[in-house]
Structures are given as C-alpha cells and as structure tokens.
Amino acid sequence: MTVAAVDRSIAITELLASQSEPIELSELAALVAMPVSAVHRTLSTLMACGWVVQDADSQRYALSLRMAQLAFRNLDARFTPDVAHAVLRRLAAKSQEYCRLAVVEEHRLVWISRAQGARQGLRYDPDMGGELVLHATANGKAWLASLPEAEALRIAYAEGFGQRTDMGPNYVTDVDEFRRHLARTRSQGYATAVDEAEHGTTAIAVPFRSHDGQDAEIAGTISIAGPSLRIRPSRYAELSRELHLAAAEISAIWPLRIRQRDFTMRNPAAEAVN
C-alpha cells in the first residue's frame, strides 16, 4: 500500500468516526476533498478488511464496530482505566459533577475515562470521542502550564491557537492573555476554562504524575466540569482541593498499571482466570 493510499484510508476512517449516521459516497468524497472513484476504492478495501460496513438498503457507509473493539482492547492492554476509574467515581460523587481523566500521549492529551456525578438539574455529558483542544480547556492548560512556556506556546500554535472558529465566547486569541492564563494556573495550582471550549460550560483541572514524587513526569490530567451556572468561582477552592486529593491518589497507584501489565504478560493464564 502506498503512502497516498494510507493517507486516504486514515482520512476516510477519521471522517467516518465523526459521523453519527451512515453517509453517502458522494458526501463522504466531498468532505474529505477526494475524487469519488478514489474514495470508493478505499472504502472497498476497508470493507474487505472489516473496518467499514455498507447499509444494504441505503448504500451508505459507516465504520464497523471493529474500531471500537480495538480501542477498548488497547485501553485494557494498558490497564489505564482500571487503576483510576474508582478514584474518578468517588470524585464525581463528591463534586456531583462530570469528571474526566486524560493521559499525555506525545504532544497531546487523550480522554480515557469519565464518571458522571450530577444527580439532578442540568447535566454536562459530552462525547468522550470529542477533540481535546489544549489551549482552550482546563485539562489542556493544566498540562501546558507544567511545560516550559516556549514549549507550551509551540504546542498551542501547532494546534491552531487563536484560529479556531468552533469554540465558546471566551475563547482566548491573544497570546499575552493566554500566557497570563498559564501563569495563573501555575500560581494557583489548578487551571480553569469558563465558556472557552464550549458555551455555558466551566471546567477545573489539575495534572497528576506518573508516581508520587515531585520529580515524576506528568502522566495526565483530571478535571471536574459542569454548567457555568453551577460551577462558580465560589466553588473553585473546594473543587480544586478535591481534584488535588484525587490526583495524588492516582499518582500513587499509577505505577500499578505497569506492574499489572507486566505480570499478565508473564502469566497469560492469569488474564484468562480473571
């Protein structure tokens, strides 16, 4: 398979992953800006490999469940959700808000776990497959603030800082203001995002480390988010305190995921028993 064919396959797969319903061939080709013939050939290959399915009646295309199965298999192989989800559930129960955990992967953060704590009224319940825009989210700013400023700005500009048109009304487009956000995050020990990535939503986040030493690298972030009408500045101190406690607990148990993975790899029978 040529590089061009791989690029086409990736572009089509990512586009299909963003669709809630099957899509027509011509519409898909227009969205990925490729000739219909090239898209059809690529879809035929992906269908033969089991990645794409075609509805027999409408002739529209969609991803098969194979992609989701591989994603869950990969998460299980890393043992990431298991070691942290209990902590996340307790945090959600205490805060009665929506809590998420993201891990650092190269120059980005990836959502891996969530827990809903809202029991009544407005509920913030976003799609876990949504993009995590680093420079416009509390999770992103919590991580970027831990990096040298030049590196943080490089990453922010690489993902389109100041150029996004799909953000909330408080989306920051001025670099000096963004630098002040990072400085405030460092000084207060937590990051906030109020109507930045999404209208009507406020989030608070802190980073957690790969083990419980101050010299440990940042492994990810943990956040509390909900309607801006409910998460007001008067709650920041309380919520940030709960976040720091949860982050410390996750840092303490994070190495267990490596040990558990290594144990299972050495003892395949253990996984079969479990």
Per-residue pLDDT at 81: 53
How do residues 168-223 score in pLDDT, each as one tens digit? Answer: 999 999 999 999 999 999 999 999 999 999 999 999 999 999 887 778 899 999 99
Q: Please, what is the average pLDDT of the chain?
A: 87
Per-residue pLDDT at 178: 98
Give the confidence band of 77 by pLDDT, cuts at 50, 70, 90: low
Distance (Å) of CA 58 to CA 55, 62, 63: 6, 11, 15
Give the confidence band of 260 by pLDDT, cuts at 50, 70, 90: very low
How do residues 145-162 score in pLDDT, each as one tens digit? Answer: 999 999 999 999 999 999
Per-residue pLDDT at 227: 95
The predicted model scores a pTM of 0.70
Q: Which residue has the higher pLDDT, 228 or 261?
A: 228
Percent of the chain residues past pLDDT 70, beyond the cut: 87
Residue 259 in this model has a pLDDT that exceeds 60: no
Residue 90 in this model has a pLDDT that exceeds 80: yes
Q: Tell me what the mean pLDDT of segment 84-95 comes to.
A: 91
Per-residue pLDDT at 56: 86
Residue 268 in this model has a pLDDT that exceeds 50: no
Domains of the chain: 3-64 (1.10.10.10), 73-263 (3.30.450.40)
Q: Tell me what the mean pLDDT of segment 216-242 comes to.
A: 96
Q: Which residue has the higher pLDDT, 66 or 167?
A: 167
Per-residue pLDDT at 262: 45
How far apart are alpha carbons 178 and 264 in whole angstroms? 44
Residue 236 in this model has a pLDDT that exceeds 80: yes
Neighbours of 148 (CB within 10 A): 8
Q: Which residue has the higher pLDDT, 79 or 129?
A: 129
Percent of the chain residues past pLDDT 90, beyond the cut: 62
How do residues 17-57 score in pLDDT, each as one tens digit? Answer: 888 889 999 999 999 999 999 999 999 999 998 889 998 88
Distance (Å) of CA 117 to CA 14, 88, 191: 31, 10, 20
